Amino acid sequence: MADQYLLGWILASVLGLVALYRTLVKRNDDRRSALVEKRSECVKSVMVSNGECRSTDGDVDVIIVGAGVAGAALAHTLGKDGRRIHVIERDLQEPDRIVGELLQPGGYLKLIELGLEDCVEEIDAQRVFGYALFKDGKNTRLSYPLEKFHSDVSGRSFHNGRFIQRMREKAATIPNVQLEQGTVTSLLEEKGTIKGVQYKNKTGQEMTAYAPLTIVCDGCFSNLRRSLCDPKVDVPSCFVGLILENCDLPHANHGHVILADPSPILFYQISSTEVRCLVDVPGQKVPSISNGEMAKYLKTVVAPQIPPQLYDAFIAAVDKGTIRTMPNRSMPAAPYPTPGALLMGDAFNMRHPLTGGGMTVALSDIVVLRNLLRPLTNLNDASTLSKYLESFYTLRKPVASTINTLAGALYKVFSSSPDQARKEMRQACFDYLSLGGVFSNGPVSLLSGLNPRPLSLVLHFFAVAVYGVGRLLLPFPSPKRAWIGARLISSASGIIFPIIKAEGVRQMFFPATVPAYYRAPVSSEKQMKKTEDSIN
């Protein structure tokens, strides 16, 4: 009875505060919607010569650096709105990566909103309906709460390169979008305003391109971000990637997370015949692949911890030798508002890829930016545009900060630790999610991007901690257990509060108090007058 009472108290607290938070958010949304102006007609023509976009003033509205998930989706979105777009991508061949292969349902909803949902078709993408969590021989299945959505809405997993190529092809079908292969070497700056880019085209020729707005989407290895933000990149771990062939996952159409030692192992289907395995290795160094240390590590340390159904396929993948590694980066968004330029995608903001939230954040950011730019017919007033777009950094926070915080917190909770309090937190998290109902639906809706509410995340995180303390103290508390419980709460606070601080407490929880939240676009009349004044 005591357990039931404790759980009921937690549930009532969580639901009550979430209901209050939703009411406040709705009021803020209603206030902001009253300030949104009617969309003006955008220019819908573009001059092209010999199939290549001219690199002179007035030809292009927006330069996009990079044509990955963020760049390609942004090019299609802004091009469809009538903007003249010049995309410069280092390599237009199909990418081959071991991350960016799982799109959460929240991300799929953004694809629909952007008109890009058909990009997951014809690439052998697999539908994902939730997760299976494994720990110490036990497992529990966590389903996405999709009951209120159309039957087509679910997660998708696929080969990253196939997905990107589909989006590039979709963008290229728009007449006013021009994709060019080239390497951007620098941003062109004049009196503190970015005027365009300098780049080398496919033949190595030095070129310049100019536009009122340059959007940098050149990925996690960006060499341009330093002039536009304060990059504090952390590398907590590395992923070791394998592909298992012709094997069945214990739970079909679910991502699998094994709470292994020292850190999680992931499995998910990326085609009808292939399962991606990602082994997390803490730190920035991994065993050497060339001298056989990696194969030995995977066979002796990792293999004994994976589900028996996958053991033979895992060993076969290791023996095949196609092992790849990728450092996992996290970087809070810390932009310098710069006239004429904007950062997007992994060049701007990264989180641990454990939860597969990166593409959802990028697509959500594109929706926010599209809605901000739609009322504007003129992008040439760089300083005014930059001030207006400061609201982008606030409006993106509910989705971005929820997914970022959850990714960082879950990685730390799911990783093993010699600290008894951390062990109890890890076990409490597994048991809490195994309870089902609101205890699993709430956290999974946060992870999936279906409920981007930072307060809900904090409430569930500390509900797990309180649940863990309750398990320690019931039925008979002891001084030792009480001490471990106190350290569990302290450990939980030490995990989540630094992440929240990096995200920005005010923007994350009280965005309506930020002046830029209500910043409306400059009217067409004011824009025209400013343009005329600048000409005269």
pLDDT, position 526: 52
**What residue has token string 């009472």?**
5
Q: CATH number of the domain that 286 lies in?
A: 3.30.70
Same domain, 349 and 300: no
Q: Which of 89, 93, 87, 54 shows the shortest CA–CA distance to 178? A: 87
pTM for the full predicted model = 0.86
Q: What is the pLDDT of residue 206?
A: 96
**Residue 145 in domain:** no
Q: Are residues 191 and 326 in the same domain?
A: no
Alpha carbon distance 250, 231 (integer Å):
40
Q: Is residue 361 part of a domain?
A: yes
Whether 30 is in a domain gets the answer: no
Q: What is the mean pLDDT, run by run of 10 residues, along the chain of 536 residues? A: 42 39 43 35 28 50 97 98 97 95 97 97 97 96 95 96 98 96 96 96 95 96 92 95 95 97 97 97 95 96 96 97 95 93 95 95 97 93 92 92 96 96 96 94 95 93 96 90 95 94 89 76 52 45
Name residue 478's amino acid: S
Q: Are 358 and 337 in contact (CB under 8 A)?
A: no
DSSP secondary structure code for residue 306 in this structure: S
Q: What's the pLDDT score for residue 71?
A: 98
* 423 and 483 assigned to the same domain: yes
Burial class of 250 by CB neighbour count within 10 A (0 to 12, 13 to 18, 19+) = middle
> Does the N-terminal peptide bond of residue 264 adopt cis geometry, omega within 30 degrees of 0?
no
Write b or e for each residue in 278-290: b if 16 or more Cβ atoms lie within 10 A of its Cβ, otherwise e.
Answer: bbbbeeeebbeee
Does residue 301 lie in a domain region? Answer: yes
Residue 313 lies in a domain: yes
Helix axes 69-80, 358-373, angle to 10 degrees: 20
Looking at the structure, do residues 115 and 207 belong to the same domain, yes or no? yes
- Residue 85, domain member (yes or no): yes
Number of domains in the chain: 3
pLDDT of residue 75: 98
Considering the domain architecture, whether residues 493 and 344 belong to the same structural domain is answered as no
* Residues 369, 228 share a domain: yes
Q: Are residues 80 and 192 in the same domain?
A: yes
Please list the residues that pair with 265 across neighbouring strands.
Answer: 258, 279
SS3 content of the chain, % helix, strand, coil (to 5): 45, 20, 35
Q: Say if residues 492 and 358 touch (Cβ distance below 8 Å).
A: no
- As a whole number of angstroms, the distance between CA 407 and CA 215 comes to 26
pLDDT score at 514? 82
| Residue 19, in any domain of the structure | no
Q: What DSSP string describes 415-431?
A: S--S-HHHHHHHHHHHH
Residues 208 and 338 in one domain: yes
- 295 and 280 belong to one structural domain: yes
Closest listed residue to residue 17, CA positions, set 489, 456, 508, 457: 456
Which DSSP helix (H) or strand (E) runs through 133? strand 130-135
- Cβ contacts of residue 9 below 8 Å, gap of 6+? none
My answer on whether 411 and 484 are in the same domain is: yes
Alpha helices in 160-307 (DSSP H): 160-172, 293-297
Looking at the structure, do residues 424 and 470 belong to the same domain, yes or no?
A: yes
pLDDT of residue 475: 85
User: Final residue of a domain: which of 311, 330, 349?
Assistant: 330
Host domain of residue 488: 405-513
Which pair of tokens denotes residue 312?
């033979």
Tell me the residue type at 530.
K
Task: Give the C-alpha distances (Å, rounded to integers) separating 447 from 35, 252, 290, 345, 412.
Answer: 31, 19, 36, 18, 15
Q: Give the span between the Cα atoms of 463 and 207, in whole angstroms.
A: 56
- How many CA atoms, within 13 angstroms, populate the side-chain half-sphere of residue 473? 14
Same domain, residue pair 462 and 357: no
Whole-number pLDDT of residue 173 = 96
Say which CATH number the domain at 346 has. 3.50.50.60
β-bridge mates for residue 7, sequence order: none
Q: Is residue 50 part of a domain?
A: no
